[in-house]
């Protein structure tokens, strides 16, 4: 089977999975991500979007598609826009050519600017840029240059992440071959520079690595979330339910977490038999789920208002997690207020370590 045939088979399976769950879906947000969805051609995209139209799944408040700058065309962008996609997340990673090569990216810096203009031309007024820092060989000056150019594009959202060394990647092999060392101090410096430059340019940090413009008259006062924040991710961090469709996708529906099979062929086979392609199913205890919800929510600058946490989870942070909050406050990583708990700027930098305390 050729690669093209497998993609067509995958599209048919995805449409079948959509059909199976459609009656349970009333999407507030939709997110096409994981890999490069814009690799799909116009015919394949139209197949998915027509199916969504058939199952009454269009019209979500926020509908995002992730894209690689090398796979954007005006025709494709206009098709997505016509079917209600209103947000694009572009995987830029860096604007330094040698670093893009080191990361194995297929796009050039020139493609980033061209694709950004194309998306604006197609009518997108909510664009996110993904940037990566602490890349091996990246100096503070290189990071400052990428930040300056990226911020000058004036996107509505900025997502950033520190480079991750995953097994079976060239970077992982280079690290273990001793070709470079991980410099934690430099990574911290780059993070500080990011927060400072993004804030100066009018972005509001609302999560450890996410920054958005606030273009509403008042913003969302209740949880200090800027109007251009990614609503899909906010739902995830705040412990909301979600359906994940496609290979490897996870869902969290009615306190049950499921994960689909990763192998695309096996995923297709299951759906061709009329079954969901679910590999694993886990039902968390209420306390374990509340701890996980606490941990994810603390990644947001607003932290957790005590009453909101109790409404979402049925548990009180001041009861089960009092010692953990005190420990973080003593370390300078957390701030306890009469109405809630949040991480400090230092705590946000090490949010993963801080969050581990809340898991039960």
Report the CATH number that the domain containing residue 211 is assigned in CATH: 3.30.750.200
**What is the distance between the alpha carbons of residues 106 and 339, in angstroms, rounded to a whole number?**
48
Is 75 part of a structural domain of the chain? yes
Which residue, chain included where needed, has tokens 């890999």? Answer: 35
Helix orientation angle between 306-313 and 286-297, rounded to the nearest 10 degrees: 140
Is 285 part of a structural domain of the chain? no
Same domain, yes or no: 232 and 310: no
Same domain, yes or no: 131 and 214: yes
Burial 142-154 (b: 16+ CB within 10 A, else e): bbeebbeebbebe
C-alpha dist (Å) from residue 313 to 122, 288, 289: 41, 10, 8
Partners of residue 67 on adjacent β-strands: 90
Same domain, yes or no: 196 and 310: no
**What is the distance between the alpha carbons of residues 54 and 37, in angstroms, rounded to a whole number?**
21
**What is the distance between the alpha carbons of residues 337 and 322, in angstroms, rounded to a whole number?**
12
Which of 237, 270, 290 is where one domain is finished? 237
Same domain, yes or no: 144 and 32: yes
C-alpha dist (Å) from residue 114 to 72, 85, 108, 146: 9, 20, 10, 16
Same domain, yes or no: 165 and 39: yes
Is 284 part of a structural domain of the chain? no
Partners of residue 80 on adjacent β-strands: none
**What is the distance between the alpha carbons of residues 241 and 24, in angstroms, rounded to a whole number?**
12
Is 189 part of a structural domain of the chain? yes
Same domain, yes or no: 179 and 75: yes
Same domain, yes or no: 216 and 327: no
pTM exceeds cut of 0.85: yes
Range of 351's domain?
Answer: 304-356
**Ranges of the chain whose pLDDT falls below 50:** 219-223
Which of 216, 237, 258 is where one domain is finished? 237
pLDDT score recorded for residue 176: 72
**What is the distance between the alpha carbons of residues 146 and 160, in angstroms, rounded to a whole number?**
12
pLDDT (tens digit, 9 = 90+) per residue, 71-127?
999 999 999 999 999 999 999 999 999 999 988 889 999 999 999 999 999 999 999
Which of 198, 214, 237 is where one domain is finished? 237
Residue 109 near residue 95, CB atoms below 8 Å: yes
As for how many domains the chain has, the answer is: 2
């Amino acid at each position: 089977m050729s690669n093209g045939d497998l993609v067509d088979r995958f599209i048919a399976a995805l449409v079948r999975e959509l059909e199976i769950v459609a009656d349970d879906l009333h999407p507030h947000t939709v997110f096409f991500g994981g890999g490069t969805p814009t690799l799909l051609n116009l015919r394949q995209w139209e197949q998915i979007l027509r199916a969504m139209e058939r199952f009454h799944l269009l019209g979500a408040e926020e509908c995002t598609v992730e894209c690689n700058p090398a796979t954007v065309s005006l025709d494709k962008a206009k098709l997505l826009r016509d079917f209600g996609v209103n947000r694009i997340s572009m995987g830029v990673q860096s604007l330094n050519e040698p670093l893009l090569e080191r990361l194995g990216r297929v796009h050039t810096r020139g493609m980033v600017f061209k694709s950004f203009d194309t998306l604006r031309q197609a009518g997108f007024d909510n664009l996110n840029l993904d940037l990566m820092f602490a890349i091996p060989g990246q100096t503070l000056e290189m990071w400052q240059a990428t930040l300056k150019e990226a911020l000058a594009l004036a996107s509505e959202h900025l997502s950033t992440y520190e480079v991750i060394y995953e097994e079976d990647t060239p970077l992982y092999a280079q690290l273990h071959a001793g070709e470079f060392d991980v410099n934690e101090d430099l990574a911290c410096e780059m993070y500080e520079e990011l927060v400072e430059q993004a804030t100066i340019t009018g972005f509001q940090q609302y999560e450890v690595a996410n920054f958005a413009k606030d273009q509403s008259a008042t913003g969302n006062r209740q949880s200090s979330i800027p109007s251009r924040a990614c609503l899909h991710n906010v739902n995830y961090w705040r412990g909301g339910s979600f359906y994940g469709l496609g290979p490897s996708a996870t869902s969290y529906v009615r306190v049950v977490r499921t994960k689909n099979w990763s192998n695309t062929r096996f995923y297709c086979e299951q759906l061709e038999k009329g079954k969901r392609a679910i590999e694993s199913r886990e039902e968390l205890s209420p306390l374990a789920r509340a701890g996980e919800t606490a941990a994810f929510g603390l990644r947001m600058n607003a932290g957790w208002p005590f009453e909101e946490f109790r409404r979402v989870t049925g548990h009180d942070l001041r009861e089960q997690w009092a010692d953990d909050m005190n420990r973080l406050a003593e370390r300078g990583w957390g701030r306890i207020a009469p109405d809630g708990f949040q991480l400090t700027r230092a705590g946000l930098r090490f949010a993963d370590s801080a969050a581990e305390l809340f898991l039960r």
